[in-house]
Amino acid sequence: MKISFAKLALPNTGTAVVALPEGAKLGRVGLMLDRRAKSALSRAMAAAEFKGKKDSTVIIPAPPGGRLKRVIVLGLGPAKAFDAATAEKTGASLYSQVSGDETVSVVLEGLPDPATSAARIASGAQLKSYRFDKYRTKEEKSAKPKIKSLNIQTDDPAAAKKKHAPLAAIADGVFFTRDLVSEPPNVIYPESFAAKARELAADGVKIEVLGVKEMTKLGMGALLGVGQGSLRESKLLVMHWNGSADKNSKPLAIIGKGVCFDSGGISLKPGAGMWDMKWDMAGAGAVTGLMRALARRKSTAHVIGLCGLVENMPDAGAQRPGDVVTSMSGQTIEVQNTDAEGRLVLCDVITYAQQKYQPRAIVDLATLTGAIIAALSEFYAGIFSNNDELAGKLIDAGQAVGERLWRFPMGDEYDKDLKSLIADMKNIGGGKAGSITAAQFLQRFVKDTPWAHLDIAGVVWNEKGTALAQGGATGYGVRLLDRFVAENYE
């Protein structure tokens, strides 16, 4: 779908959407219409008692006096409440209504900041337009969206275009994440994930990939233990973007759980729903998409993305419940449940990030626990942090982009649950507050660095679709982190 911006000039083909806030009149749109078309629109709007109420629509098929297929008059609600997030959602729902037509024009009237609204409506439509259909070989053409061009008409198209450019870069990042998360686990495994990430070199991101040999030297016994039952080699992917003027500035480290398939290992998961565990790498997917977004919009921040990439499989060589592994930090871990593998991967990446880069802050994203879904369902991700300021900034960024976070408590009471009889800790708690004990486990590897852990198990995949995504991968995290970086590190 090609997105463009133009001055108000009602088209004569395809679908025209006339978007009006509460109380706004057809105004200049009316003047551009053929006399008969204007009368048809006015009568239809009056008959439907159209007042501009949010999401209200009046559809006029084949209006007389021209070649337009249809006009949709769309209510935007009160002009004052039409903020960026609302505009994005409007663009997304608009996309769903018009994607069956090849050319669509949207005419905006009566808004206080038309350039921002135009850019956000375009971005919402773009985000909603994503579909992962490469493996559907028999889909009827009629079932696919037909839309080729979306033209948004507003008073200052140059300003709208300028505001849309970074949003398009962010959408590129979101799509990169959705691609990675949607791919099946026979296609995306640690090595192929890293290979795909190498595409970011073309955007200016510096890519490093460590293999088992390097990670063994570093002493990453926890991460390597998870991957040891897999035929696929474990990898540590490190992505550098330094857009800051000071090339020696300390970076922000963003870490992703990249379990490309989580069978549970020897603590095998039940068969029903196990296919979902292809998206147990969505944290890593979000980090990778973020790097594309930052690079493509030329962020002035210094950010390092690190992804622990493994496959958790049962095998004669797999780690057993009861094994003790030594993490890179030197702390030993009794692996009582091989299905609590995400924390084993993350703890070594957290140690590596601190030792190697002395980051200003660490944010990790992980589909870490089923318990977070029990607590929050699909509407919020959980946030756990050792730093109120950092947590607050992330919560604010999430709120602004509609990727919401809810903070959970942490404390010694929970940490005690990780006590092992024979090692420094075990990798599971006693069964209560499973998301918190998982976070406590991670915190044991964080030194003095401000750190936040985002448990995103409930929000990265959505069967029904969300406001800005059709069913499947949501791309959760990219827009949140991009906003967080833009607001606090640029």
Binding site for ligand BES (CB under 6 A): 262, 276, 280, 337, 339-342, 367, 369-371, 428, 434, 457
| Closest residue to Zn ion: CB criterion | 262
Q: Which is nearer to ligand BES, 273 or 411 (CB)?
A: 273
Q: Which is nearer to ligand BES, 169 or 226 (CB)?
A: 226
CB under 5 to 8 A by kind: which of Mn ion, Zn ion, ligand BES, none does 434 bind? ligand BES
Phi, psi of 476 (to 5 degrees): -50, 140
CB under 5 to 8 A by kind: which of Zn ion, ligand BES, Mn ion, none does 370 bind? ligand BES
Phi, psi of 308 (to 5 degrees): -85, 110
Q: According to the binding rule CB under 5 A, does residue 311 interact with Mn ion?
A: no
| Closest residue to ligand BES: CB criterion | 370
54, 69, 269, 360: the catalytic one is 269
Q: Is 343 a catalytic residue?
A: yes
Residue 7 beta carbon to Mn ion: minimum distance, rounded to whole angstroms: 54
Residue 309 beta carbon to ligand BES: minimum distance, rounded to whole angstroms: 14
C-alpha 12: how far from its chain's center? 37
The Cα-based distances of 198 to 192, 193, 201 in angstroms read: 10, 9, 6
Report residue 310 as tokens. 């493994």
Residue 264 beta carbon to Mn ion: minimum distance, rounded to whole angstroms: 6
Residue 437 beta carbon to ligand BES: minimum distance, rounded to whole angstroms: 8
Residue 314 beta carbon to Zn ion: minimum distance, rounded to whole angstroms: 14
CB under 5 to 8 A by kind: which of Mn ion, ligand BES, Zn ion, none does 390 bind? none
Residues 457-476 that bind Mn ion (CB under 5 A): none
Report residue 218 as tokens. 């570093």
Kindly provide the b/e burial profile for residues 73-100, where b requires at least 16 CB atoms within 10 angstroms of the residue's own CB. bbbbbebeebebbbbbbbbbbbbeebbe
Q: Which is nearer to ligand BES, 20 or 436 (CB)?
A: 436
Q: Which is nearer to Mn ion, 126 or 312 (CB)?
A: 312
Compute the distance between CA of residue 441 and CA of residue 445 in angstroms, rounded to an integer.
Answer: 8
Q: Which is nearer to ligand BES, 183 or 339 (CB)?
A: 339
Q: Which is nearer to Zn ion, 453 or 479 (CB)?
A: 453
Q: Which is nearer to Mn ion, 203 or 339 (CB)?
A: 339
Residue 367 beta carbon to ligand BES: minimum distance, rounded to whole angstroms: 4
- What is the maximal distance between C-alpha atoms in the chain? 86
Kindly provide the b/e burial profile for residues 396-422, where b requires at least 16 CB atoms within 10 angstroms of the residue's own CB. ebbebbbbbbebbebeeebbebbeeee
Report residue 421 as tokens. 């009889």
296, 343, 426, 479: the catalytic one is 343
- Please give the residue ranges that form the binding site for Zn ion (CB under 5 A): 259, 262, 280, 342
Letters for 35-74 (x = contact with Mn ion by CB under 5 A, - = none) are ----------------------------------------
Residue 70 beta carbon to ligand BES: minimum distance, rounded to whole angstroms: 42
Residues 252-271 that bind Mn ion (CB under 5 A): 262
Q: Among all residues, which ones are annotated catalytic? A: 269, 343
- Applying CB under 5 A, the residues found at the interface with Mn ion are 262, 339, 341
